[in-house]
Chain A
Amino acid sequence: MNSTRVASTGWLVARRVGWFALSMLVASIVVFALLNLLPGDVAGVILGPNASQQSIDALREQLGLNQNIVPRYVEWLGAMLTGDLGSSALTGAPVNPVVADKFGVTLSLVLFGMLAAVLIALPLGILAALRRGRADGVLISGFSQLGMAIPAFVVGIALSVVVGAKLHWLPANGYVPISRSFGQWLSHLILPALTLGLVQSAVLVRYVRSAFIDVISQDYYRTARAIGWRRWPAIVRHGLRNASLQIVTVLGLQLSTLFVGAIVVESVFVLPGLGSYLVQMVGNRDLPVVQSIVMILVALVLVINLLVDLSYTLIDPRLRAGEDEVDD
């Protein structure tokens, strides 16, 4: 790699990171402004339906809710930059440990959801590619269309009621920390992960299918078949490796939608993760908590996109060359 190329790669990375920082800043302004425009505030929630106006007034003053929005924003942003998520307006307790705790739940759900999505989409996608034009191939494509059209909460409620409440095969909802019982933890995650995975696999199956249609039209696959490999070993040995780059890229892009999807799934399955917590705290107008969680989710999505972007350009020389030409 010559020095010009290194310099231009450095510039590229710097530019992408710059965009990331700018996006974060704009997002923080939008999030803060929008949340502060919501009617109602935490004072009324703390004092409840028996409070007098005077006491609500006094509490608003005490909590600094009557302060100007700009200094409040600056203070919040400053704290966020040092990694301090602030304190809950309701309890006064620091937000950091609570969020860290809940993030673990959400992360387990997302990782299991992704695993489920791959386990469902991979065989179905390959089958759809091999059976292209035939009835079962069409059927799989049809199911993936249908899967994309059904909202996650409908799938979740159906699984919870049928598998949990009626058949008693798995817990209908709830969560047990891994520290208490591994088996319980796993059994509580299966239905939510399956819900998330089913919805995601509907999207993924189309990418897997097209990736494998590519693969089976390649010379190396035909050669493998010609020298006597049977179809599935040939697919797994040669096809999977070659298609995996495309699939992993799509998975990376889908990771951010998985985090967003987790909000709905956590609420349906009463998982104490970041998503269901966010929904509750919006109801309570605990803005310091809500702002922090929303910004974490925004940052996650942006970081994932940044990494996908950078990995494209750094890994695939053709893309980088393309960028260089445009830049120069």
Chain B
Amino acid sequence: MTRVFRQMATVLIGLLALVLAACSPTATEPQDRQLVVGTSVAPNSMDPTTSAAAAIPEALLYNVYETLLKIDGEGKYQPLLASEWSVSSDGLIYTFNLRPQAQFASGTKVTADAVIASIQRIIDDDSVLPILKTAMAPLASMRAVDDDTVQFTLSTPSQNWLFDMSQRAGIIFDPDHLDQLATTPAGSGPFVFSNWTEGDSVTLVRNDNYWGTPTKLAGVTFKSYSDPNAMNAAMLAGQLDIVSNVAAPQALDQFQTADFNVLEGSTTGEVVLGFNHQNEVLKDLRVRQAINYAIDRPALLDAVWAGKGELIGSMVPPTDPWFEDLSQRYPYDPDKARELLAETGLGQISLRLRVPTLPYAPGAASYIASQLGAVGIQVTVDELEFPATWVDQVMYQGNYDMTIVAHVEARDIGNFADPTYYWHYDNPEFQQLIAAADKTMTEDEQVTLMKQAARILSDDAAADFLWLMPNLIVTKADVTGVDSNRTSLSFDMTGVNAPAA
């Protein structure tokens, strides 16, 4: 009997000793930190050009993968792999001067040929997302002037093309690794891909051969949490260094202590109450305007997203150069809404609001249903699993009247110019303005036309632009250099620093 107990005790003490040994720090010198960033969606591939999942560029763009030029936190272009670029006076020929020292993590130099191979893959490879192929549609030809100079000739001037070159369509891949991108990213950034545990985390480590200013971090791990509460618990337990975006803003208060920094910035995620313009009732401008008047957006934002976020009034975030505050175009005025509805003579209107199961949508939907009910529009709310069911039913089958979703892609106002897109918004004047803005020679001209286009969307009540998603970041108090604004899909870690542990 006692022998059994003694043996068990020995085993237990041994185990305990092992645990303690493993937990106690063995190194005496401070070590560079491997930061852990909590994110809300897990990537479903490692190739940002063949899967639309925003979680892929979130981890890889600018960190592992670089573009010729990048967009900064203020929405301005900055040189990256290209030290400078010039445009011909007719807006057709773009010449990029590559940095001679730029190299991929493999040691291969970033040459004009590598740039051409990456862009050619976007055009040629069948598995590349159609939206990226569309981005390269204005491109007529490419030519390596010399090793460090590449020239693109467009068939028509395009401001959007230059922007897309700063996003995932413009990523310059290591040409020797193009066939393994779905599992093994290979780029030229300050971090190198180390490991991807599907459905769990992506680990990057410092690129010791980085051509530019090297990161001081040992690396970064992006860990995904489908449940925002689990992410918050991990942050409070000290397991995370950064929460990339707090998906439950009501939970922010628990981080208002000396241990954490809370950053509030803006994103490019417009939360849109989208209308199906094929619906007979919603074709009537007065109905769409009535809906815009009937919804008290500031109160909605307070109720659903703890008042965090901005009111925008059109499909433009404040970090775009053509932003104008149009949030007062339809102030809350239920009487005006009732008047407009009475004018239509449509009588009782019933609409189906089919929303994805995302943190903001069901709450916003019930709020909106009650406000629209108050002016005489009967709304049935339907929750659809996201992404599979929502994409199938709403986007693919067009089986909805209204829906709510945050459109997170940068500069996605152009979706309203595509009548086949799921809103089926078809306004020739708007389409012409978007096309003309793209073809302008200077950014100033582009800004003028884009402002007009954004105003049309607002006047025409093409949708109800509910609010702009805030960028709510929590970091440990000693982490610095995180940009509070999010102007692309990237969670840019290149300027982040933390003292050695």
Contacts and interface: CB of A to CB of B under 8 A. Distances in A.
Interface of A: 38-42, 44-56, 58, 62, 90-93, 98, 101, 157, 160-161, 164-166, 168, 171-175, 181-184, 186-187, 233, 236-237, 267-270, 272, 276-277, 279-281, 283-286
B391 A172 contact: no
A182 B18 contact: yes
Q: Which of A157, A165, A280 has the most CB of B within 10 A?
A: A165
Given A52-B420, A165-B233, A284 B23 contact: no
Contacts of B147: none
B238 A44 contact: no
Given A48-B387, A51-B130, A270-B234, A90 B392 contact: no
A155 B51 CA distance: 37
Contacts of A181: 22
Given A41-B392, A46-B50, 10 more contacts: A40-B387, A40-B390, A44-B387, A52-B130, A52-B418, A168-B237, A172-B236, A172-B239, A267-B226, A281-B199
Contacts of A283: 385-388
Contacts of B111: none
A51 B396 CA distance: 9
Q: Which of B23, B238, B392 has the most CB of A within 10 A?
A: B392
Contacts of B230: 160, 172-173, 268-270
B389 interface: yes
A276 B44 contact: no
A285 B45 CA distance: 14
B410 to A, nearest CB: 11
A173 B388 contact: no
B198 interface: yes
Given A183-B21, A186-B19, A280-B199, A164 B420 contact: no
A183 B23 contact: yes
A54 B227 CA distance: 33
B421 interface: yes
B396 A48 contact: no
A50 B57 CA distance: 15
Nearest to A188: B239
Q: Which of A53, A101, A270 has the most CB of B within 10 A?
A: A270
Interface string B38-52: 000010111000111
Interface residues of B, number: 60
B389 A39 contact: yes
B415 interface: yes
A91 B197 CA distance: 13
Given A161-B233, A164-B233, A183-B18, A237 B1 contact: yes
Contacts, number: 178
A267 B198 CA distance: 14
B129 interface: yes
18 contacts: A38-B389, A41-B392, A45-B388, A46-B52, A48-B51, A48-B391, A51-B395, A53-B420, A54-B420, A93-B183, A164-B234, A165-B233, A165-B234, A173-B237, A269-B230, A270-B225, A272-B198, A281-B199
A51 B200 CA distance: 26
Contacts of A93: 182-183
B405 interface: yes
B1 A236 contact: yes
B53 interface: yes
Contact of B199 (A42, A269, A272, A285): A272
Given A45-B44, A55-B130, A272 B395 contact: no
Interface of B: 1, 4, 18-23, 42, 44-46, 50-54, 126, 129-131, 182-183, 197-201, 223, 225-227, 229-230, 232-234, 236-239, 385-393, 395-396, 405, 407, 409, 412, 415, 418, 420-421
Contacts of A276: 199
B160 to A, nearest CB: 14
A51 B131 contact: yes
B51 A46 contact: yes
A171 B237 contact: yes
Nearest to A269: B230
A240 to B, nearest CB: 10
Contacts of B229: 157
A175 B197 CA distance: 11
Given A47-B130, A182-B18, A277-B198, A284 B421 contact: no
Given A183-B22, A270-B234, A40 B52 contact: no
B388 A50 contact: no
A35 B409 CA distance: 31
A92 B199 CA distance: 15
B76 to A, nearest CB: 24
Nearest to B393: A39
Given A51-B52, A174-B223, A184 B45 contact: no
Given A51-B52, A161-B233, A164-B233, A45 B391 contact: yes
Nearest to B398: A53
Nearest to B54: A48
Contacts of A277: 198-199
B234 A174 contact: yes
A160 B226 contact: no
B388 A165 contact: no
A171 B239 contact: yes
Contacts of A98: 198
B249 to A, nearest CB: 18
A270 B131 CA distance: 33
Contacts of B18: 182-183
A5 B131 CA distance: 71
Q: Which of A42, A50, A165, A186 has the most CB of B within 10 A?
A: A50
